[in-house]
């Protein structure tokens, strides 16, 4: 069951018919869900095995009489919310159940992911028993236990050697951006402060760039809205995500309660789309990758009809002069500056472009997006009121389906549409991301962009594409922290080939346990131009299992005190409530030991709280400013974690301000209607609280030129004559991220025993495929960009020219999955889970050619031919459900 | 963890075992022992995450005769109550029953699905019973039987739905437990409820107050 590969996990559950209740003296600790952006508040309750509470209110820790006879009241722990953990070395019952919160998940609501999070906990008697417990060193090809002392010495000595001899450009760090402030602070302190390497990227993309780049360029903080804003909208335009599937409580608790009408733009009909259609909304079933054309056509139609919110535009869209504010006399070389200089326009000029743009014509949009004209028009009417006196309150939400198919153009054209529909500054009229992971990133230093060779044209800087830099042989030491680097990146199998050839297939392999021997061998590895690979993880995954020289066992959620904010910027504590497995340590501790041994100063933290106290000031003047909390705690003689623990599920909505010894929260950003008092002490008067982020404080409309993407799109889209279909990908309700916990949750695995691909009945029939068949999916045109970091002219970055100049090579990708025959996907398009582990994931089937304007990946644009290679066993088929999510 | 004990249920289990190697696929009645068989590792806490191998009527099991001591243990403590007559059931017309007790929360639907189901009884193995409250937050599912798809749901609160042909497995869910299935037995024309697989919403123990 807990295999890390692509095998069938067979785990039908025999459900429990009772659950032990915690006694009144059970230990209750506040925490929040470890999974999606919504970050529902939870309670972790532990008590020794051998004791149990009773069903009367005074006999249990919930203080509730059982059975509970009302719906929607919380405090009913279902059996999957119970597990057995070790606490102080002794077996303890453990219930992790939603908090009764005033915010986010009120009334104990939870998703299918978070609801079962108790099963994430390490338990020696459960499928989580294979958690990593001790550092491992690859000796003679096999990972074998060693001590922390030796592991950190080897990592430090070899890392220092590479840094000293080859410089920071040879020392790479690939790490999660979200797994708690304390850890991301420590990681960035080493990577960006001590080593100052630009070879640094987050788990989900090859370079350290903004996600919704276009919105950032326009001046929008993508996590500005509060959840009440979504609920108060009359209509929400949702692009590239189904919040029911992936941000469930935002949908079921806020959007459904608000009774908003939804315009959903997705190629696939997931459950939230059905709800939208049933509740007077509209589904725009867009052809994969064509969102920009849709947005441009909608903008043009609205402008032609005069339905735009002219008052809002006049007040908030930057004029010609304001576009230049803050650019100074310099080179305008930061990413937003060079992009806005080139494509930013006043409303007048933008309108002129739009009305002449042939790619913004309705006929072209209908042809390319596959959406009927009348539906596009109906959506325009719904969003603007269609010229009626009362304009509906329209909000705009996007996520990865939008920005990971065509990053810059999709986000910038989406932003244009939002601005002309009046969104941005008012309650229920907001623009933002729905979000993926929670917001647990804080950076100890800014990214050293000036060191990268990446240039768009002569001046435009970009963050370094780490995968490209690795593939071109520049990296000799790579530290991978909490991410499946291979499966997570495009052209994943080609990246895997490179990593393999330069790590486990290098001729420099450790043969004995002596530390000095290991260090010398790995130095020789680096000298030979191969790569030393370190991996911090909680389980052995592909990178650790097959390629890493050192594997460091990490202590995670529930095993150490941590902090983080969620999708509406609410900061909470994630308490330690049980023992980490074996000798596992939090990532900040691992980083600190290695950094100290490398000779760097400032890593003498004893506890997570020490790190927290240090990182506060690095959040100042940002959307997650929590420095005032630290100041307030100090002034009042309290420890900040105690303050957060007392606040429990409520937390603090960031950014915070300190005024007359009171902490003041910020409900939404870009809100000019709230008076912000003069800053006191450490507080800042955050610009983005009252206006937009760019120097003029206004929103910047941009030209979204389809021609910048057209040649690539035409090249990589499926070829009918070859029988190819789109393979797009994304999250689904029941599974979180790379399935690392879900593989160990029998309740989830009974439904999703292996990777799957959804295919329309018409395509399935044409290929002779049925439910439960296993197919090989192959793409013989997986393009990889290698080099081409610096190009003199803008047009050199068009795919055609990159290829002509020899920076593109062609590989192939292969994946297999079980077929679901279903009409939720249209003919011509299939959908796969985005990151099933084992290398045969959707990213093997898409090209590693990043958006040249931002260096963002284009994960959603895979394709493949399909061939039946087997079928799942009958007994498994008889137990699975192939029912559609009606 | 309850110690698993086969002997406890002898007084209620009267149906002989059926060896799947020889038994016809259309076994006229199936005892709760055959409802589920297990080869999962037993003992200690491991039994809490019991895995179930092939179903009896998949016809491929080499483990015939290996009676499910796990299910035995689960159903041993339940009352055996007559809940209906096979001949009185009409396809897709759910009948409300209460099991294992009489409380409102123990309301269940007895349904002839018209399609074979895991745990189904009757000549077509299509008669099943499920508790009528969503295991997410107790939403009433009594009127949410979807006859076309043989699912219960979507729950009006948060859209969970459950496949009645697959032990109440989630189709789309916020719930983290299958819809509790009432274990049925057929004796002649009489349908008996003899146990529950899964915990009923609001209860720490299905038999609380019974």
- pLDDT attached to residue B29: 37
Give the distance from residue A746's alpha carbon to the nearest chain B alpha carbon, in angstroms.
Answer: 7
**A839-849 burial string, b = 16+ CB within 10 Å, else e?**
bbbbbbbbbbb
Parallel, antiparallel, or unpaired for β A41-48 and A27-32? antiparallel
Give the distance from residue B190's alpha carbon to the nearest chain A alpha carbon, in angstroms.
Answer: 25
Chain position carrying tokens 């309705």: A362
Number of A/B CB contacts below 8 angstroms equals 199
Cα A603 to its chain centre, rounded Å, is 28
Six token digits for residue A768: 């002779």
CA-to-CA distance for A99 and A645, rounded, in angstroms? Answer: 13
Residues with Cβ within 8 Å of A497's Cβ and at least 6 positions away in sequence, in order, are none
Helix axes A707-716, A407-420, angle to 10 degrees: 130
Contact B173 A112 (CB under 8 A): yes
Entry field: residues in chain A: 886
Q: Which residues of B touch A248 (CB under 8 A)?
A: 158, 174
A50 touches chain B (CB under 8 A): no
Nearest to A18 among B103, B136, B206 (CB): B206
Six token digits for residue B208: 């609380």
Q: Determine contact, residues A202/A208, Cβ cutoff 8 Å.
A: yes
Residues with Cβ within 8 Å of A58's Cβ and at least 6 positions away in sequence, in order, are A24
Using CA coordinates, name the residue in chain A closest to B55.
A875
B156 touches chain A (CB under 8 A): no
Residue A208, helix vs strand vs coil = coil
Give the distance from residue B25's alpha carbon to the nearest chain A alpha carbon, in angstroms.
Answer: 14
pTM for the model: 0.93
Using CA coordinates, name the residue in chain B closest to A22.
B204
Q: Please give the DSSP secondary-structure letter assigned to residue A193.
A: I
- pLDDT attached to residue B107: 98
CA-to-CA distance for A467 and A463, rounded, in angstroms? Answer: 12
| HEC string for A33-90 | CCCECCCCEEEEEEEECCCCCCCCHHHCCCCCCCCCCCCCCCCCCCHHHEEEEEECCE
Nearest to A11 among B51, B135, B138 (CB): B51
Six token digits for residue A778: 């192959």
A166 touches chain B (CB under 8 A): no
* pLDDT tens track for A615-638: 999 999 999 999 999 999 999 999
Six token digits for residue A737: 């991220």
Q: Determine contact, residues A184/A178, Cβ cutoff 8 Å.
A: yes
* Helix residue ranges per DSSP H, A357-473: 362-369, 373-384, 400-403, 407-420, 466-471
Is pLDDT above 90 for A285?
A: yes
Six token digits for residue A17: 């018919």
A19 touches chain B (CB under 8 A): yes
Contact A878 B174 (CB under 8 A): no
Task: Quickly state the pLDDT bin for B198 (edges 50, 70, 90).
Answer: very high
Residues of B classed as catalytic? 136, 158
CA-to-CA distance for A410 and A315, rounded, in angstroms? Answer: 24
B198 touches chain A (CB under 8 A): yes
Residues with Cβ within 8 Å of B98's Cβ and at least 6 positions away in sequence, in order, are B106, B107, B108
Hey, what domains does chain A have and what are their CATH numbers?
27-130 (2.60.40.4210), 136-197+440-560 (3.40.50.740), 213-438 (3.40.228.10), 606-690 (no CATH), 710-879 (2.40.40.20)
* pLDDT tens track for A512-527: 999 999 999 999 999 9
* pLDDT tens track for A766-811: 999 999 999 999 999 999 999 999 988 889 999 999 999 999 999 9
Q: Determine contact, residues A572/A32, Cβ cutoff 8 Å.
A: yes
Residue A453, helix vs strand vs coil = coil
- Which of B149, B100, B208, B204 is closest to A62 using CA atoms? B204
Nearest to B205 among A18, A81, A275 (CB): A18
Task: Quickly state the pLDDT bin for B76 (edges 50, 70, 90).
Answer: confident
Q: Which residues of B touch A127 (CB under 8 A)?
A: 49
Give the distance from residue B81's alpha carbon to the nearest chain A alpha carbon, in angstroms.
Answer: 18
Residues with Cβ within 8 Å of A314's Cβ and at least 6 positions away in sequence, in order, are A347
- Which of A624, A742, A700, A709 is closest to A288 using CA atoms? A709
- pLDDT attached to residue A878: 83
Q: Where in chain B is the domain with CATH 2.102.10.10?
A: 81-197
Chain A, window 750-809: residues with a beta carbon less than 8 angstroms from a chain B beta carbon: 750-751
- Which of A13, A27, A2 is closest to A94 using CA atoms? A27
Nearest to B137 among A16, A109, A123 (CB): A109
* pLDDT tens track for A304-340: 999 999 999 999 999 999 998 887 667 788 999 999 9
Task: Quickly state the pLDDT bin for A458 (edges 50, 70, 90).
Answer: confident
Nearest to B52 among A14, A72, A733 (CB): A14
Superfamily of chain region B81-197: Rieske [2Fe-2S] iron-sulphur domain (2.102.10.10)
- Which of A499, A598, A592, A584 is closest to A546 using CA atoms? A499
B15 touches chain A (CB under 8 A): no
Is pLDDT above 60 for A7?
A: no
Q: Which value does ipTM take for this structure?
A: 0.94
Using CA coordinates, name the residue in chain B closest to A882.
B171
Six token digits for residue B105: 């929360």
B199 touches chain A (CB under 8 A): yes
* pLDDT tens track for A735-750: 999 999 999 999 999 8
Q: Determine contact, residues A849/A799, Cβ cutoff 8 Å.
A: yes
- Helix (H) / strand (E) containing A317: none
- Helix (H) / strand (E) containing A773: strand A773-785
Q: Which residues of B touch A18 (CB under 8 A)?
A: 199, 203-206
- Helix (H) / strand (E) containing A749: helix A746-749
What is the per-residue DSSP string for A96-128? Answer: EEE--BSSSSBTT---TTGGGGGGGS--TTSGG
Residues with Cβ within 8 Å of A201's Cβ and at least 6 positions away in sequence, in order, are A174, A207, A208, A463, A464, A466, A467
CA-to-CA distance for B192 and A809, rounded, in angstroms? Answer: 68
Task: Quickly state the pLDDT bin for A6 (edges 50, 70, 90).
Answer: very low
Task: Quickly state the pLDDT bin for A13 (edges 50, 70, 90).
Answer: low
Task: Quickly state the pLDDT bin for A679 (edges 50, 70, 90).
Answer: confident
Residue A648, helix vs strand vs coil = coil
Chain position carrying tokens 């389906």: A401
Cα A514 to its chain centre, rounded Å, is 40
* pLDDT tens track for A682-724: 888 899 999 999 999 999 999 999 999 999 999 999 999 999 9
Residues with Cβ within 8 Å of B126's Cβ and at least 6 positions away in sequence, in order, are B91, B112, B113, B114, B115, B116, B117, B120
Taking CA atoms, A803 is separated from A785, A788, B33, in Å, by 8, 10, 66
Residue A17, helix vs strand vs coil = coil
Is pLDDT above 70 for A95?
A: yes
Q: Determine contact, residues A296/A706, Cβ cutoff 8 Å.
A: yes
How crowded is residue A810: how many other Cβ atoms within 10 Å of its Cβ? Answer: 11
* Helix residue ranges per DSSP H, A259-361: 271-278, 291-305, 310-316, 320-323, 335-343, 347-356
Average pLDDT, whole number, for chain A? Answer: 95
* pLDDT tens track for A429-451: 999 999 999 999 999 999 999 99
Q: Determine contact, residues B84/B180, Cβ cutoff 8 Å.
A: no
Q: Determine contact, residues A704/A413, Cβ cutoff 8 Å.
A: yes
Q: Which residues of A touch B180 (CB under 8 A)?
A: 15, 17
Entry field: residues in chain B: 210
Nearest to A76 among B38, B158, B202 (CB): B202
| HEC string for A510-532 | CCCCCHHHHHHHHHHHHHCCCCE
Q: Which residues of B touch A95 (CB under 8 A)?
A: none
Task: Quickly state the pLDDT bin for A107 (edges 50, 70, 90).
Answer: confident
Give the pLDDT mean for A483-504: 97
| HEC string for chain B | CCCCCCHHHCCCCCCCCCCCCCCCCCCCCCCHHHHCCCCCCCCHHHHHHCEECCCHHHCCCCCCCCCCHHHHHHHHCCCCEEEEEHHHCCECCCEEEECCCCCHHHEEEEEECCCCCECCECCCCCEEEEECECCCCCCECCCCEECCCCEECCCCCCCCEEECCECCEEEECCCCCCCCEEEEEEECCEEEEEEEECCCCCCCECCCCC
Is pLDDT above 80 for A353?
A: yes
Q: Which residues of A touch B38 (CB under 8 A)?
A: 14
CA-to-CA distance for A688 and A219, rounded, in angstroms? Answer: 9
CA-to-CA distance for A316 and A309, rounded, in angstroms? Answer: 11
A106 touches chain B (CB under 8 A): no
Chain A, window 236-295: residues with a beta carbon less than 8 angstroms from a chain B beta carbon: 244, 248, 252, 256, 271, 275
Chain A, window 59-88: residues with a beta carbon less than 8 angstroms from a chain B beta carbon: 66-74, 76-81, 84
Give the distance from residue B107's alpha carbon to the nearest chain A alpha carbon, in angstroms.
Answer: 12
B197 touches chain A (CB under 8 A): yes
Contact B48 A10 (CB under 8 A): no
Give the distance from residue B89's alpha carbon to the nearest chain A alpha carbon, in angstroms.
Answer: 24
- pLDDT attached to residue A875: 82
- Which of A477, A542, A436, A3 is closest to A204 using CA atoms? A436
Q: Which residues of B touch A55 (CB under 8 A)?
A: 204-205, 208
CA-to-CA distance for B16 and A482, rounded, in angstroms? Answer: 54
Q: Determine contact, residues A631/A660, Cβ cutoff 8 Å.
A: no
Six token digits for residue A767: 């290929």
CA-to-CA distance for B154 and A519, rounded, in angstroms? Answer: 59
């Amino acid at each position: 069951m807990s295999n890390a590969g692509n095998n069938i996990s067979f785990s039908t559950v025999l459900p429990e018919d009772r659950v032990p209740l915690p006694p009144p003296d059970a230990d209750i600790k506040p925490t929040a869900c470890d999974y999606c952006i919504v970050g529902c508040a939870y309670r972790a309750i532990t008590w020794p095995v051998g004791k149990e509470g009773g069903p009367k209110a005074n006999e249990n820790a919930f203080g509730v009489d059982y059975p509970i006879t009302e719906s929607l009241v919380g405090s009913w722990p279902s059996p999957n919310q119970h597990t057995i953990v070790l606490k102080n070395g002794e077996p303890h019952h453990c219930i992790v159940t939603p908090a009764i919160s005033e915010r986010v998940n009120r009334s104990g609501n939870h998703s299918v992911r978070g609801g079962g999070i108790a099963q994430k906990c390490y338990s020696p008697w459960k499928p989580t028993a294979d958690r990593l417990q001790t550092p491992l060193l690859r000796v003679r090809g096999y990972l074998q236990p060693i001590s922390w002392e030796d592991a950190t010495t080897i990592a430090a000595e070899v890392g220092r050697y590479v840094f000293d001899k080859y410089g920071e450009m040879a020392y790479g760090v690939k790490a999660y951006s979200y797994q708690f402030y304390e850890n991301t602070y420590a990681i960035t302190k080493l990577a960006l402060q001590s080593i100052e390497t630009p070879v640094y990227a987050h788990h989900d993309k090859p370079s350290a760039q903004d996600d919704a780049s276009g919105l950032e360029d326009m001046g929008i903080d993508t996590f500005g809205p509060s959840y009440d804003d979504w609920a108060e909208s009359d209509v929400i335009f949702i692009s590239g995500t189904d919040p029911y599937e992936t941000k469930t409580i935002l949908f079921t608790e806020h959007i459904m309660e608000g009774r908003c009408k939804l315009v959903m733009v997705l190629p696939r009909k997931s459950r939230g789309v059905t709800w939208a259609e049933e509740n007077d909304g509209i589904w725009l079933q867009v052809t994969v990758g064509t969102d920009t054309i849709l947005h441009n056509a909608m903008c043009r139609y609205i402008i032609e009809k005069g339905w735009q919110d002219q008052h809002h535009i006049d007040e908030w869209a930057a004029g010609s002069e304001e576009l230049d504010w803050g650019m100074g006399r310099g080179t305008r070389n930061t990413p937003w500056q060079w992009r806005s200089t080139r494509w930013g326009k006043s409303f007048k000029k933008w309108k002129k472009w739009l009305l002449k743009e042939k790619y913004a014509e309705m006929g072209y949009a209908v042809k390319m997006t596959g959406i009927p004209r009348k539906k596009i028009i109906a959506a325009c009417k719904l969003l603007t009121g269609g010229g009626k006196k009362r304009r509906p309150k329209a909000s705009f939400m996007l996520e990865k389906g939008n920005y990971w198919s065509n990053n810059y153009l999709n986000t910038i054209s989406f932003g244009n549409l939002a601005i002309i529909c009046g969104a941005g500054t008012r309650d229920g009229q907001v623009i933002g991301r729905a979000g993926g992971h929670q917001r647990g990133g804080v950076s100890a230093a800014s990214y050293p962009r000036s060191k990268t060779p990446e240039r768009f044209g002569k001046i435009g800087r970009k963050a370094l594409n780490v995968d490209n830099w690795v593939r071109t042989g520049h990296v000799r030491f790579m530290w991978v922290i909490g991410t499946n680097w291979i499966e997570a990146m495009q052209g994943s199998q080609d990246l895997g080939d490179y990593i393999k050839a330069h790590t486990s297939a290098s001729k420099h392999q450790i043969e004995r346990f002596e530390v000095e021997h290991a260090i010398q061998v790995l130095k020789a590895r680096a000298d030979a131009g191969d790569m030393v690979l370190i991996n911090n993880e909680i389980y052995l995954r592909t990178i650790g299992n097959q390629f890493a020289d050192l594997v460091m066992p990490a202590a995670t959620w529930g095993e150490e005190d941590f902090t983080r904010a969620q999708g509406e910027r609410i900061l909470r504590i994630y308490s330690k409530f049980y023992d980490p497995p074996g000798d596992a340590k939090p990532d900040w501790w691992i980083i600190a030991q290695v950094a100290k041994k490398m000779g760097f100063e400032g890593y003498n933290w004893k506890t997570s709280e020490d790190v927290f106290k240090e990182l506060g000031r690095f959040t100042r003047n940002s959307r997650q400013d929590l420095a005032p909390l630290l100041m307030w705690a100090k002034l009042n003689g309290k420890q900040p974690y105690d303050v957060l623990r007392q606040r429990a599920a409520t937390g603090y909505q960031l950014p915070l301000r300190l005024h007359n010894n009171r902490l003041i929260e910020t409900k939404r950003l870009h809100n000019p209607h709230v008076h912000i008092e003069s800053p006191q002490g450490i507080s800042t008067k955050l610009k983005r609280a009252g206006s937009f982020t760019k120097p003029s404080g206004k929103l910047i409309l941009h030209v979204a030129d389809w021609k910048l993407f057209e040649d690539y799109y035409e090249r990589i889209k499926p070829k009918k004559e070859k029988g190819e279909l789109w393979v797009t990908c994304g999250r689904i309700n029941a599974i979180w991220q790379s399935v690392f916990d879900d593989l160990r949750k029998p309740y989830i695995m009974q439904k999703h025993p292996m990777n799957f691909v959804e295919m329309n009945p018409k395509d399935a029939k044409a290929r002779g495929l049925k439910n439960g068949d296993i197919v090989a999916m192959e793409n013989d045109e997986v393009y990889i960009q290698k080099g081409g970091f610096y190009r003199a002219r803008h047009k050199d970055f068009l795919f055609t020219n990159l290829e002509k100049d020899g920076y593109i090579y062609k590989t192939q990708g292969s994946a297999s999955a079980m077929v679901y025959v279903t009409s939720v996907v249209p003919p011509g398009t299939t959908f796969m889970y985005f990151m099933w582990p084992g290398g045969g994931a959707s990213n093997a089937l898409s090209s590693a050619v990043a958006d040249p304007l931002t260096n963002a990946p284009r994960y959603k644009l895979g394709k493949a031919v399909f061939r039946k290679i087997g079928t799942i066993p009958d007994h498994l088929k008889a137990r699975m459900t192939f029912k559609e999510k009606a | 963890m309850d110690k698993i004990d086969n002997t406890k249920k002898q007084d209620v289990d009267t149906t002989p075992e059926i060896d799947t190697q020889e038994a016809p696929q259309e076994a006229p009645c199936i005892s709760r022992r055959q409802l589920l068989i297990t080869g999962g590792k037993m003992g200690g806490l491991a039994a809490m995450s019991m895995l179930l191998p092939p179903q009896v009527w998949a016809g491929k099991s080499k483990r015939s005769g290996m009676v499910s001591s796990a299910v035995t243990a689960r159903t041993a403590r339940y009352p055996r109550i007559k809940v209906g007559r096979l001949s009185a059931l009409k396809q897709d017309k759910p009948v409300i029953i209460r099991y294992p007790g009489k409380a409102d929360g123990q309301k269940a639907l007895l349904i002839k699905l018209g399609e074979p189901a895991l745990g189904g009884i009757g000549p077509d193995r299509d008669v099943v019973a499920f508790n009528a409250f969503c295991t997410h937050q107790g939403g009433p599912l009594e009127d949410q039987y979807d006859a076309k798809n043989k699912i219960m749901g979507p729950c009006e609160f948060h859209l969970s739905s459950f496949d009645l042909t697959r032990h109440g497995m989630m189709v789309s869910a916020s719930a983290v437990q299958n819809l509790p299935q009432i274990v049925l037995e057929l004796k002649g024309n009489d349908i008996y409820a003899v146990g529950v697989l899964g915990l009923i919403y609001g209860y720490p123990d299905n038999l609380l107050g019974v």
